[in-house]
Amino acid sequence: METISRKDADRLAIRDRLKSFVRRVIPGGWWERENGEKRSSRYARLWRFTVLITAGVSVTPLIIITIYDYYQYREAFRQEMMYPILRLTSTMKHSMEFFLEERRSALAYIIEDKSFDELADQEILARILRNMKNTFGGFVDVGLIDSTGKQRTYVGPYELQGMNYQEQDWFNEVKLRGAYVSDVFMGYRKFPHFVVAVKHERQNGDFYVLRATIDTKVFNHQIYSLGLRPASDAFIINDKGIFQTASRFHGNVLTPAPIPVPPYSNRPEVVEEYDGSGNPYVLGYAYIDQSPFIFVVVKGPEDLMENWLGLRRRMFGFLAISVGIILLLIMGTSSYLVSRIRDADLRQAKALHHIQYSNKMASIGRLAAGVAHEVNNPLAIINEKAGLAKDLIALSNGFPQREKFEKLMDSILASVTRCSTITHRLLGFAKRMDVKTEKIDLEALIQEVLGFVEKEAGYRNIAVSVRSDNTLPSIESDRGQLQQVFLNIINNAIEELEGGGQIDILLREQDQETVEITISDNGRGIPEEHLHHIFEPFFTTKKDYGTGLGLSITYGIMEKLGGGISVRSKVGQGTSFIVALPIRKPPL
């Protein structure tokens, strides 16, 4: 015994559910055959057309609105993202400018307030440094340099007394401009720092410089306090693109920055840029006045896209769900409507077929009545004359070839009898007989009918069995016409069993309103292509002796009695006629 795994069973169950769902959504009659080729039916084309038009009208505006919202939201997100960076950059610019200006002003005040000799005093300069540290913070040391570049007095943690800065750029800059803020550098102190220096000119034309060193940690603290998101970065570079503070992602202090130096602007700027991999990022920057510093903020793609991607997912998810629901509703509604149209068409076709069949039967009835009427009179004359001729032959002594002529007369009379039977059947087919209703025991009626064919069945070695439900009720119907119905069917069965066989008759109560009589034989069976025509007038497969009227008359009687007749047959296995009769007289 073949077994399947649980996984295969689940997969088959899912497939069956999908098929059931498709059958519910897609209407029946999807395919049809024409000239042997399989193609979609007009109902399928109508369904597709309805679904496409309705879906287009319903879904297109939704898609357009979603696309419009997509660009609107994206622009709003871009603006919302730019503004905080611009505000942060502006705040940091003002903060750094204030920081530098404060310390530059402090040095300027000191150098203007104190004389060269006072500043050259170690104790006084040490007190000044201590006051600056306590008041402003960030100062590491301070020194007094004369016009030759020699450091005359130094107060700080290093041994820099007597150092000569004559050849250094910062000294030339302060000598030229009067004040100077340097780049961050390592210098003799071996840690990142920058200097702020101011110049004082004496009345004799000489000058001296007060120079203070500031630790870049003050900038780092300011950047750290910004509270940037994990994918964002902020740092300071100089106008040569060298890091003045360490970057979170791009490099360490005093190393070249991988991003280009942004163009100068006297106000904070925010621009969109792309990295080497093509990923977008937002760059905010501000040039710090009277210094080489440029404050830079970089927002990475994760920060840029985090909220936008979430909104975009929700937006397109809502669109997909909405479109899916709309399509399901459209497909379901279209299927329902197309199915109703198909059912209506089928009912109309059936009604038209019934009307055509009724008209055909009426025409045939009128034709049969006319033919029977016109043929009966000549037949009567032929029958009478043939009988007279036979009598004369019988009474004439010495009639030559008497025996031969008597056989000819018998043949004529037999043919006349057969023709009379046909004409009487035609009249019966055409005649509209009134129904005479009475209580009928169906089993007894069947036995009566079998009495008519008992000898012929025995002669053909045909066994007949009758089975009936014990509770089979009596019915209200026309006895004579039912006899004709059953006689026609049983006669057909006997004719099918030329070499003997079996006829089974089953009577049972189908439901509270109907009884069913099934007459089955194990004869040759009826080909499928003949089954659709056996109740049509003059359709017969008995080429030599069949009239093709028996089953047509039977069909008409069953309709008149409010019942029905159907047939099942398979070639080589036999045929079953199923007669359904109402238990009570149907209303007129």
Over residues 414-432, the pLDDT tens digits come to 888 878 776 776 665 555 5
Structure-token pair, residue 25: 């959504």
Residue 454 token pair: 């008992």
CATH 2.130.10.10, applies to 434-582: no
Exposure string over 139-165, b if 16+ CB within 10 A, otherwise e: bbbbbbbbbebebbbbbbeeebeebeb
Cα distances (Å, whole numbers) of residue 5 to 1, 10, 17, 425: 13, 9, 18, 67
pLDDT tens profile 343-392: 888 888 777 876 776 676 667 667 777 777 788 888 888 988 888 888 88
The CA-based angle 359-362-363, given to 5 degrees, is 85
At 283 the three-state DSSP class reads strand
User: Residue 288 in 3-state DSSP?
Assistant: coil
Close Cβ partners of 457 (under 8 Å, ≥ 6 residues apart): 450, 463, 464, 494, 503
Whole-angstrom distance, CA of residue 171 vs CA of residue 194: 13
- Look up residue 201 and give its two tokens: 């000119």
Q: Which has more confidence, 64 or 349? A: 64
Confidence band of 518 (pLDDT split at 50, 70, 90) = very high
Q: Under 8 Å CB-to-CB from 481, ≥6 apart: which residues? A: 433, 435, 557, 560, 561
Band the pLDDT of 1: cuts 50, 70, 90: very low
In a 3-state reduction of DSSP, which class is residue 264? coil
The DSSP H or E segment spanning 476 is strand 475-477
In one letter, which amino acid is 169? D
pLDDT, tens digit, 9 for 90 and up, residues 199-221: 999 888 899 999 999 988 888 88
> Is the pLDDT assigned to residue 545 strictly greater than 60?
no
Q: At what angle do helices 479-496 and 442-459 cross, to 10 degrees?
A: 30
Contact 453, 487 (CB under 8 A): yes
Determine which helix (DSSP H) or strand (DSSP E) holds 61, and give its type and residue range: helix 42-113
- Mean pLDDT estimate for the chain: 84
* Structure confidence at residue 503 (pLDDT): 94
Write the pLDDT tens digit of every residue in 456-488: 888 888 999 999 988 889 999 888 788 888 988
Rg (the chain; Cα; Å): 58
Under a CB-based contact definition with an 8 Å cutoff, are residues 137 and 210 in contact? no
Q: Which residues pair with 517 in a beta bridge?
A: 507, 579
Q: Domain spans of the chain?
A: 79-228, 325-431, 434-582
Is 526's pLDDT higher than 80?
Answer: yes
Residue 477's beta-bridge partner residues? 438
Span 499-526, mean pLDDT?
91
Average pLDDT over residues 536-542: 68
Q: What fold characterizes domain 325-431?
A: Helix Hairpins (1.10.287)
In 3-state terms, what secondary structure has residue 165? coil
How many Å from the N-terminal Cα to the C-terminal Cα in the chain? 59
Note the pLDDT of residue 544: 55
Using a 10 angstrom Cβ sphere, with 0-12 exposed, 13-18 middle and 19 or more buried, the burial of residue 449 is buried
Q: Which two tokens stand for residue 46?
A: 């109508």
Q: Which fold has domain 79-228?
A: Beta-Lactamase (3.30.450)
pTM across the whole model? 0.48
Fold match between 79-228 and 434-582? no
